Structure 1
Amino acid sequence: MNPKIAALCGWLMIVSLVLSLSSELLNLLPSYWAGVPIWISSLFFFPYVKPTQKKQIIILVIFGMFGLLYGTMHHLDARYFIRTLEANQTVVTMLIGVGFLRIFAADNVQTKEALPKGGHSLTKTLFGVHLFGAVLNMSSVVIVGDKLAMQRPLSPTQGLTLLRGFAICAFWSPFFAAMGMTLTSAPGSHLSTLIVYGIPVSIIALLLSAWEIRNQPDAEQCLGYPIGVQSLWMPCLLAIIVIVEHNIWPNASVLSLVALTSVTFIALWLFIKKGKQRPKIAKRHIEVGVASSAGEVVLFAAAAMLASGVASILTSLNIQLAPDHFGAVAAIITLLVLVVLAMTGMHPVTSVVLAGSILAPSVTDPNLLGLTLLMGWSLGITFSSFSGVQLSIQSRYDLQAKTLLRLNWRYVLIMFIVCAATLWLYAFQHPYL
């Protein structure tokens, strides 16, 4: 990417972050103002987006524009255009805020220790990638994967470890993009409820993954990443802070709290640790590091247009595609559909937005829909050879898609059953559904 464009868009994203937090926490201005810098940046970012994402973004924008125009011809009001202008700004704000944590990761996660070997070290790597990924998102995969690849080419077992550790975060992490899109697509869902049900599912997924990885034929010859307890305090601390903040300010957006917590943490850490270097480090991240999220920024903006367009068409035609009752059976069927859509190459952002838009009229408990969306996101990116994390692992570490597919199908089948049982249990415990 052109350095000047990267720097310009980096500062535009900071403007959007400030406007979004000002709107959400202080009510100083309408929220759609924060979407303006996002759309401007998206226009600059688009030429640099990966070809696979670019095609999907074009389709989202075309369908979204068609829906908005159709609604306009049928005399709908301007609320759908305002929703488009907002550009999923709360999710983008979280993405940019969490991105600042890479500064901490680059300084603290890397280590000169010799890489350990064996199944036990792979298990530690799995849990370490999971906890880092819960806060740092894809950065955790790249940081750990690059460290392992410096010694020797990554084996499929190591690639599987990275993929599972990262994808399982979608079940529960408040810092993960999945949670951001879910809270937006299932309005009224509660972070605490989603985490309470998501963590047990993620523990089962981690234990199953650890058992599978340690039983791979080459497990004892594989190198792991030396992650110690001292490296994991930051993800745990930030997650606890966000949960506490949400209980103190229940009306504030969780996404805004995540962004504010992340930026505040890095500001304090730079002030304490880096002295005179802190302005230079922060400036470099804004002008260089923010551009690494270009694909996600454009995709979230396009998804906002699609959601508005779909809602506009459904309202104009008075069509209801949702079932009469969204209970356990409908949730399990939706989960299956989300996984199938992921296998076709549809990005989880798109499928989650579509599911939220279509099912909203029949949802009586948004937490059930929220759990379904999170589960669909996690299983989808684990199973689909076209998911962003899989494409990154395949291309960056020269691993074959069919190999990862072969290693994942049993896990996805078992976890689908676990997720279906969890959804049924939630519905059983809430009989008013």
Structure 2
Amino acid sequence: MSPAPPTSLRHAIAGGLILAGLALQVLRLMGLPIALPAVSYAFWLAVVLLWPDLKRGNRRQAGILAGLGMALALVAALFHGAEIAWHRLLDGNSYVVAMLVGVSFITLIGTRQGHAAPPGSAVTGRRGTGGTWLGVHLLGAVLNLSTVFMVGDRLRRHGELTLPQLLALNRGLSSAALWSPFFASMGVVMTLAPEMRFTTILALGLPLGMLAGTLSLLDLSRRFDLTEVAGYSLSPRSLLMPVGMATLVLLFHYVLTPALSIVSIITFLLPAVALLANLPRGPRWTLRRVRSHTLERLPAMRGEIALFLCAGLLTQGLSAFIGALTGSQWTLFAHFGAPQAVASFLAIVASAVAGLHPIIGVSVLASMLELEGSRQTLFAFVALASWAVGTSVGPLSGINLSLQGRYGVSGGVMMRHNLGYAAALSALVVGAILLLDAWL
């Protein structure tokens, strides 16, 4: 194995700042008097240092979001007399970024290379393709994007990845956004709708996720000959870690620390479990792995960290502008019911097809709504569903950009081949929205 390339001082400082942001947020959760801007500034400084390394599309999108947010806040203050808490303007989505950084530490559980789950065996045909979807869906629900590379690289041992394999990887991960508490989508939603009922979302989102898998397998079987297509077969041991982590999170949320949100619990629990898993091999081993993670993995998260922070700034600026313009009396919908929820879902998915990340549509929508408790649950489902569908089909979504960079497939190809799937899944989502609205 060749040694890793040396890390530049700029990347090392940025990685240290990201780790410091996580540590400060954990200390805040422990009750220490640390202001949220301290966490936000650490993350923003890291983004500034890593800005030259962002891909051009990510840099343009993040820059536009941040510029619009700042411009709207300035207009609200200069022309409408709004009082802006400037020192808090950068706090948007800091909770979510801290959670994302915390989740990244889960890759430290396992082998030295960071494979947090033992590999499954390769099979072919419909069973193999279904196994690829299921493996990425269940493991990715905790491990996020790293699972796509773990499974994809294993499949590539049998030759370059084919389109059915790439589509299974894409759909398996994106559909986990419907229910996984470890996904950034859930973190954003819980921040924007703190009164949402997670158990309701789980009861609806998990079955819908399984239906998305069935839909994917039927679609791929109809359009491609899967006879010789290699797939991934889960071993029972592979499920121990994600099931165990989900159980721990629910235990803390409902029994041990009920006052903390799931986002907060994940932020401190996953890094703690990762450290405890490494300590039996000694403090020096553990410190070496944390150092490697800080210098290599954390700076590599620059794209998602920049996007979430800049989208948070847009939300802050847009909320201030709308509040100043309307006296905080205007909302997009007088009542957020099924028709409004369906229209919002379709608009966010359409914006994702046009190249915008779903977080932008979700953040803009949240800034224009004033929702009571039960309506927050409906909004949360709309946001998660539009994220699941939008990231699968959006050519500039994180999953499609990652597949393009790793395996050479273009975002346009993925979008074209996912349009039918997205339309069918959208029909199921609309039905689920109607059901949830009646339920609430």
TM-score tier, shorter chain, comes to: over 0.9
Q: CA 1:284/1:156 → structure 2, altered by over 3 Å: closer, same or farther?
A: same
1:190, CA displacement in angstroms?
Answer: 2.8
Greater CA drift, 54-63 or 395-404: 395-404
Contact map agreement 2:92 2:316 (CA 8 A) in 1: no
Q: Return the match for 1:185 from 188, 192, 199.
A: 192
Greater CA drift, 379-388 or 51-60: 379-388
Q: What are the superposed Cα offsets for residues 229-284 of structure 1, whole Å, 9 maximum, x if unpaired?
A: 10121111111211222223333132121121211110111013567422211111
How far apart are the structure 2 equivalents of 1:276 and 1:266? 15
> Which residue of structure 2 lines up, in the alignment, with residue 90 of structure 1?
95
Q: Return the match for 1:44 from 43, 49, 55.
A: 49
Contact map agreement 2:118 2:237 (CA 8 A) in 1: no
Please state if 1:227 is matched with 2:234. yes
How far apart are the structure 2 equivalents of 1:129 and 1:112? 12
> Which residue of structure 2 lines up, in the alignment, with residue 409 of structure 1?
419
Q: What are the superposed Cα offsets for residues 34-71 of structure 1, whole Å, 9 maximum, x if unpaired?
A: 11111111110111111101101111111111111122
1:167, CA displacement in angstroms?
Answer: 0.4
Please state if 1:237 is matched with 2:247. no
> Which residue of structure 2 lines up, in the alignment, with residue 76 of structure 1?
82
Please state if 1:325 is matched with 2:335. yes
Provide the identity percentage: 28
1:364, CA displacement in angstroms?
Answer: 5.8
> Which residue of structure 1 lines up, in the alignment, with residue 21 of structure 2?
16
Contact map agreement 1:134 1:169 (CA 8 A) in 2: yes
Q: CA 1:38/1:405 → structure 2, altered by over 3 Å: closer, same or farther?
A: closer
> Which residue of structure 2 lines up, in the alignment, with residue 255 of structure 1?
263
1:299, CA displacement in angstroms?
Answer: 1.5
Give matches, 1:17-416, under 5 Å.
17-73=22-78, 74-79=80-85, 81-104=86-109, 106-108=113-115, 115-248=122-255, 249-273=257-281, 276-318=284-326, 320-360=330-370, 365-416=375-426
Q: SS in structure 1 opposite 2:159?
A: coil
Q: What are the superposed Cα offsets for residues 183-242 of structure 1, whole Å, 9 maximum, x if unpaired?
A: 122232132222222111111111222333344433111112243110121111111211
One-letter code of the match for 2:368?
I
1:160, CA displacement in angstroms?
Answer: 0.7
Contact map agreement 2:356 2:394 (CA 8 A) in 1: no
How far apart are the structure 1 equivalents of 2:277 and 2:116? 15
How far apart are the structure 2 equivalents of 1:174 and 1:157? 28
1:321, CA displacement in angstroms?
Answer: 4.7
Q: CA 1:362/1:108 → structure 2, altered by over 3 Å: closer, same or farther?
A: closer
One-letter code of the match for 1:76?
A
Contact map agreement 1:125 1:225 (CA 8 A) in 2: yes
Structure 2 unpaired stretches of 5+ = 1-5
1:349, CA displacement in angstroms?
Answer: 1.9
Q: What are the superposed Cα offsets for residues 114-140 of structure 1, whole Å, 9 maximum, x if unpaired?
A: 633222122112111111111111111
Contact map agreement 2:196 2:374 (CA 8 A) in 1: no
**TM-score, normalization: structure 2?**
0.92
Q: CA 1:103/1:412 → structure 2, altered by over 3 Å: closer, same or farther?
A: same
Q: SS in structure 1 opposite 2:231?
A: coil
How far apart are the structure 2 equivalents of 1:114 and 1:44? 41
Please state if 1:426 is matched with 2:431. no
Q: What are the superposed Cα offsets for residues 278-320 of structure 1, whole Å, 9 maximum, x if unpaired?
A: 2211111111111111111111221121111101110111172
How far apart are the structure 2 equivalents of 1:77 and 1:243? 40
How far apart are the structure 2 equivalents of 1:190 and 1:18? 28
One-letter code of the match for 2:369?
L
Q: CA 1:213/1:352 → structure 2, altered by over 3 Å: closer, same or farther?
A: same
Greater CA drift, 396-405 or 125-134: 396-405
**TM-score, normalization: structure 1?**
0.93
Contact map agreement 2:353 2:395 (CA 8 A) in 1: yes
How far apart are the structure 1 equivalents of 2:341 and 2:431? 11
Q: SS in structure 1 opposite 2:350?
A: helix
RMSD across aligned positions (CA): 2.2
How far apart are the structure 1 equivalents of 2:117 and 2:206? 27
Q: What are the superposed Cα offsets for residues 387-426 of structure 1, whole Å, 9 maximum, x if unpaired?
A: 2211221342222445433432222222112111111111
One-letter code of the match for 1:212?
D
Matched residue count: 429
How far apart are the structure 2 equivalents of 1:107 and 1:59? 35
Contact map agreement 1:84 1:308 (CA 8 A) in 2: yes
How far apart are the structure 1 equivalents of 2:121 and 2:382? 41
